[in-house]
């Protein structure tokens, strides 16, 4: 099981989305054996996200978030990805607020500048998308 998880998650991140088709069956098998395997859940969610399958991706990230509620690394990353994916599908104002809350958490952590920058960019992109919707 350990080798499968490593192989599958490696395929997810190696020149995405080139190897995602190969990674999916391995991820599904690994998750059937260990449904709470965080690395496999992340891998599966990233594959869905890359395919712009926004709601299922958001649901997978939400599962991770629930498993890692107080985790300031993977749990926070899962919450950010969940909000971003949900925003892509719905343009729900609550997702912008979620991203702002995550940004506040990231700003208080050492060595998380890159994560904070990505989150801030996403907040800006949400506002940009809102403006574009108003212009149409």
Residue 53: what pLDDT?
Answer: 98
Bigger pLDDT: 131 vs 89: 89
CA distance 63 to 82: 9
What's the pLDDT tens digit per position in 32-55?
999 999 999 999 999 999 999 999
For residue 11, name the pLDDT band (cuts at 50, 70, 90). Answer: confident
Residue 25: what pLDDT?
Answer: 94
C-alpha atoms less than 13 angstroms from C-alpha of 30 in its C-beta half-sphere: 23
What's the pLDDT tens digit per position in 65-115?
999 999 999 999 999 999 999 999 999 999 999 999 999 999 989 999 999
Tell me the residue ranges of DSSP E strands in the chain.
Answer: none
Number of other CB atoms surrounding residue 98 within 10 Å: 19
Rounded (5°) CA angle 77-78-82 = 120
CA distance 100 to 115: 13
């Amino acid at each position: 099981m350990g080798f499968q998880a490593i192989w599958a998650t490696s395929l997810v991140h190696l020149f995405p989305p080139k190897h995602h088709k190969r990674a999916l069956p391995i991820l599904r098998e690994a998750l059937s054996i260990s449904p709470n395997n965080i690395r496999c859940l992340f891998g599966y969610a990233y594959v869905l996200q890359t395919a712009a399958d926004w709601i299922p991706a958001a649901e997978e990230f939400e599962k991770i978030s629930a498993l890692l509620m107080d985790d300031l690394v993977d749990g926070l990353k899962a919450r950010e990805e969940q909000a971003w994916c949900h925003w892509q599908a719905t343009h729900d104002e609550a997702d912008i607020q979620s991203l702002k809350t995550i940004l506040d958490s990231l700003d208080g952590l050492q060595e998380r500048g890159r994560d904070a920058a990505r989150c801030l960019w996403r907040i800006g992109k949400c506002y940009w998308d809102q403006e574009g919707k108003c212009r149409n």
